[in-house]
Amino acid sequence: SAPHVVEACARIVHACPRRVRHAWSRVLDSLQLDAGARQVRVPAAVLVGTADRLTPPVHARSLAAALPQCVGLTELPTRGHMTPMEAPDQVTGKIRDLVAGHIRGTGTGTGTDNDTARIGEGT
């Protein structure tokens, strides 16, 4: 990620009171995403930055595999954890695609076609 994006994200995190950050860390530690993901009954897409050290791509792939109606996994090369700030056009484009597919009735993936798209790598 660009240094100015990392700095902006750090400012956001550090603006939260320490007790709030500590409480949130306990919530994150107790999350069981795979079990909850299996219960999602709407089309869903997963986006991840390939440089995300907080929730690495291996976790995104596991989440995509657990979603019953996953319509795609997109890996954003060189992006970190804050993809909406780092790659806003790509993130909003994927959200628009998901919504448009749902409105047209084509966004009802079965979870069996988890093709990984790599934005910026020509696929």
Q: Given the structure tokens 């093709």, which residue do they identify?
A: 115
pLDDT for 70 equals 95
pLDDT for 122 beyond 70: no
Distance CA 93, CA 91 (A): 5
- The CATH number of the structural domain formed by 34-118 is 3.40.50
**Whether the Cβ atoms of residue 71 and residue 80 lie closer than 8 Å to each other:** no
pLDDT for 123 equals 42
pLDDT digits (tens, 9 = 90+) for 48-83: 999 998 889 999 999 999 999 999 999 999 999 999
Listed by start position, the domains of the chain span: 1-31, 34-118
| Confidence tier at 109 by pLDDT (50, 70, 90) | very low
Over range 19-41, report the average pLDDT: 87
Is pTM beyond 0.85? Reply is no
Distance CA 94, CA 70 (A): 13
